[in-house]
A and B are shown apart, each in its own frame.
Chain A
Amino acid sequence: MDFQTYETEGFYDELFAPDGTPRSRGEPLVRRLQTISMEDLQRRQKAAEMALLNMGITFAVYGHEAGTEKIWPFDIVPRIIDGAEWDHIERGLKQRIHALNLFIDDLYHDRKIVSDGAVPEWLISSAKNYLKPCQGMNPPRGTWCHITGTDLVRDGDGQIYVLEDNLRCPSGVSYVLENREIMKRTFPQSFDGFSILPVEDYPDKLLEMLMHIAPEGVSDPTVVVMTPGIFNSAYFEHSFLAQRMGVELVQGSDLVVDGGLVWMRTTKGLERVDVIYRRIDDEFLDPQTFRADSALGVPGLMDVYRAGKVALANAPGTGVADDKAVYAFVPQIIKYYLGEDMILPNVPSFVCGDEQQCQHVLANIDKLVIKPANESGGYGILLGPKASHQERERYKELIQANPRNYIAQPMLSLSRVPTIVEDHFEGRHVDLRPYILYGKEIYVLPGGLTRVALRKGSLVVNSSQGGGSKDTWVLRNGFSHKGRMNSQRQAV
């Protein structure tokens, strides 16, 4: 299958330079694809999708009548990231998470960052995900955000930007592992000529981190993954992670607080639980502390947590840094806590909570993307240039009614990757979500989840809105297509 008719159409293409020649990082892949017929590729693509269906790798779509589960479309052309570029991304992410963790800790204690004037007071006092019950808390080892998924995008000029931080319960990492597995099963030849950083050890790293945060004095901690249950859209991932770590997957009803400890109900009586990787939101954790109507949580859990007798990951309260208004201040946050300049830039953002910036946003709404500060999953976003007059006016009203709740960014021109569309390749826009673990040290899973907007021209990559995914390859440093294995060995 050749790329004669493939057009980059002025977008940044991850596989091809603007002149149509393959970028050096993907050259062996392009050569490989050229030796394979489209029929063969389509057959492999079908095999991959069949494997996903049979393996039950599905997600639930809320409010979708026809069956609650769907497979998440997978495209077999991988996205390739050069090793040197990845080093830069990795350093940027570590810096960001380091600073955000200090920021969250500060917010729940002295709020020095506000008293020193590095961020405005209104930003904190109005933060929707700030949890009063967490004030003054000291999570084990001082870590709040143990697991983060940070969304990155590449704009038309080739620059990588941080698009948003997900510090609550970021999902998708299971797809990173499964995508690699499916690629190996269905298209093993594609790996020829590449040396790719592995992703398979993520569950080990995760377990190591979770054991690291165990309450003091517990030498052999019992770790569990806590899920809201099979109707949650990410249920597959919850069970996947529990299975790969070899720990129990529990629901709230399996846990009980008794005598100042957390226990799970087993066929042999109660068994103590030390660390909970919880995949349910803060408000549902404990009906005695948060939402009283939560049937998913465990009454009394927060008391045990406060007493240091159980660890929760992520720590309750981290969501305060998930706020997109807070996001806009991350450059100042990094500067304040680390005294460093930001390595990976933010997308330039206007914060409507600021009077002047708000006026600018209202006047230029037709050129901007408007995002609500506390939504996830791509909900509530207005693409100014593509929206109707009516929609824009509606958003203007929404912003004026609650300016704190909105930020605005320029329309980005997301990079693209060739994707199989019927019987040929077309460029489709992608983003990237790397996963970061904060345990003894900060670890970044090489690559992460590449989501692809499968609809022509679409920029929305969310699974709930027509997105799919691709395997993501990070090449070993200095080990690219020209077979420089020897020179690297010398360097070591």
Chain B
Amino acid sequence: MLSRVADSIFWMSRYIERAENVARFIHVNLRLAIDLGPGTAGQWAPLIYTTGDQDLFAERFGEPDQRKVIQFLAFDGENPNSILSCLRSARENARTVREMISSLMWEEINKFFLNVRAAAHNQNVLDNPFDFFHQVILHSHLIDGITAATMSHGEAWHFSQIGRLLERADKTSRILDVKYFTLLPSVAEVGLAVDTIQWSALLESASALEMYRKVHGRITPAQVADFLILDREFPRAMHFCLIEAEDSLAAITGNRGGRIYSSAEQKLGRLRSELNYARIDEIMQQGLHEFIDQFQIRLNDVGLALDETFFTPPVGGVTPLAQTQQSA
């Protein structure tokens, strides 16, 4: 398939996943605000850190509060990572590959964008936001389902999968990192009700609470981190995302059985296998935030490697895959 098309399909899915995760952040924070009651206004600030857009926010809105943060994260056209901006980008990408994706996919992505754009001008949404953010999450799942059910599971679909999975791994790591900014427990609070509520809210924002309980039962910080980072079966866990993304990458290159030819395969494979052998106690010892920081940087490198392997290979690069590695 065309490199440009692969690139667009990758980003189309990536942006939809990003929009969904922003909705998840907001949704769970809305619930927390109710659970924790007034006087916890400060909890809206971490959301901005989660998406890494704190400077842009400060410049445009000043001090964070619920309304401002929701406006910024959901509807601000100037914020490239707002739900609206993500869906605009997803739709633009879908438009450039419309002939490659199914009509149903295009129609739903188009409707998704049109709905959110309409909501951006509807005051009722900010007054009663639960429904709206829930709908955003559902619409993303709908598109994921339509994609899986109407698109041949060939090269294009695998690029779409990788886009979604890398984005999800990144966002799950950020959800976990929120804890670093807000919930760093003062020693006295560890194990108290407030702390438990916050950890369970965190699990819920990854739709992980029920599945977590089945595996670990009681909520402890280390086990939550273990579940969201290292679980192999939970579909929003970072490890799971990388396993699946690596499978898709192997399906694209046709290189199964451990032979590695491209930098994308090398970087993704390495990161995945590190998670495979990692232990949560070591991660906690090293420092959760530092670990997540490193993970995000490395994941970013995987994205760059994908770009250089498939999306913008050098001209004359009829065989862009490095031959030196093959012979080594």
Residues of A within 8 A of B (CB): 53-56, 225, 229-230, 235-236, 239-240, 242-243, 248-251, 253-254, 256, 258, 264-267, 269-270
Closest chain A residue, CB of each to CB of B94: A56
Interface residues in B87-146 (C-beta closer than 8 Å to A): 92, 95-96, 98-100, 103, 106-107, 110-111, 114
- B155 and A267 form a contact (CB under 8 A): yes
Q: Does B2 make an interface contact (CB < 8 A)? A: yes
Q: Which of B1-49 contact A (CB under 8 A)?
A: 1-6
- Does B221 interact with chain A (Cβ within 8 Å)? no
Minimal Cβ-Cβ distance residue in A for B111: A54
* B235 in the interface (beta carbon within 8 A): no
Known: A230-B92, A270-B318. A265 touches B107 (CB 8 A): no
In the bound assembly, the distance between CA atoms of A419 and B305 in angstroms comes to 56
Question: In this assembly, does B303 line the interface, its C-beta being within 8 Å of a C-beta of chain A?
Answer: no
Any A CB within 8 A of the CB of B310: yes
B77 CB-CB contact with A under 8 Å: no
Q: Which of B106, B155, B318, B319 contacts A56 (CB 8 A)?
A: B106
Give the CA-CA distance A403 to B25 in the complex, in Å.
67
Q: Does B260 contact A (CB under 8 A)?
A: no
Q: Is B316 an interface residue (CB 8 A)?
A: yes
B98 touches A254 (CB 8 A): no
Give the distance to chain B from A33, nearest Cβ to Cβ, in Å: 29
| Given A56-B106, A258-B316: A266 in contact with B1 (beta carbons within 8 A) | yes
CB-CB under 8 A from B99, the residues of chain A are 225, 239-240, 242-243, 248-249
Interface contact B2-A248, CB-CB below 8 Å: yes
- Min CB distance B6 to A, Å, is 5
| Chain B proximity of A262: nearest CB distance (Å) | 13
A230 adjacent to B95 (CB under 8 Å): yes
Assembly CA distance A242 to B2 (angstroms) = 13
Cα-based distance from A395 to B103 in the complex (angstroms): 47
Taking a contact as CB atoms under 8 Å apart, the answer to whether B92 and A267 are in contact is no
Contact B320 A256 (CB under 8 A): no
The size class of the interface chain B forms with chain A is 20 to 34
* Given A269-B320, A270-B318, also A254-B95 (CB < 8 A): no
Interface contact A265-B4, CB-CB below 8 Å: yes
Closest to B92 in A: A230
Beyond A230-B95, A243-B99, A248-B2, whether A265 also contacts B316 by CB under 8 A is no
A56–B107 touching, CB < 8 Å:
yes
14 A-B pairs, CB-CB below 8 angstroms? A54-B110, A54-B111, A56-B98, A229-B96, A235-B95, A248-B99, A251-B4, A264-B2, A265-B3, A267-B1, A267-B3, A269-B313, A269-B318, A270-B318
Q: Which residues of A contact B5 (CB under 8 A)?
A: 248
Interface centre among B96, B155, B252 (most CB of A within 10 A): B96
CA separation between A269 and B111, bound complex, in Å? Answer: 35
Kindly list chain A residues whose C-beta atoms are within 8 Å of the C-beta of B2. 248, 250, 254, 264-267
How far, in whole Å, are A256 and B313 apart by their CA atoms in the complex? 13
B6 proximity list for chain A (CB < 8 A): 267
Whether B215 is near chain A, meaning CB under 8 Å from some CB there, is no
- Contact, CB under 8 Å: A254 / B3: yes
In the complex, which residue of chain A has the Cβ closest to the Cβ of B252?
Answer: A267
- CA separation between A472 and B3, bound complex, in Å? 39
Option from B92, B98, B114 in Cβ contact (under 8 Å) with A243: B98
Please give me the residue from chain A that is nearest to B311 by CB atom. A267
Closest CB in chain A relative to B323 CB, distance in Å: 13
The 6 nearest A-B residue pairs measured at CB:
A243-B99, A242-B99, A239-B98, A269-B318, A56-B110, A267-B310
Chain B CB within 10 Å, residue with most, of A54, A248, A266: A266
Do A230 and B96 have beta carbons less than 8 Å apart?
yes
A53 vs B106: C-alpha distance when bound (angstroms): 12
Q: Which residues of chain A come closer than 8 Å to B110, judged between CB atoms?
A: 54-56
CB contacts (< 8 Å) of A258 on chain B: these are: 316
Q: A55, A235, A258, A267: which has the most chain B beta carbons within 10 Å? A: A267
Complex Cα distance A487/B110, Å?
49
CB closest chain-B residue, reference A249: B99
Q: Is B315 an interface residue (CB 8 A)?
A: yes
Judge whether B258 is part of the interface by a CB distance below 8 angstroms. Answer: no
Are A56 and B95 closer than 8 Å at their CB atoms?
Answer: yes
Chain A proximity mask over B248-286: 1 for CB below 8 Å, otherwise 0: 000010000000000000000000000000000000000
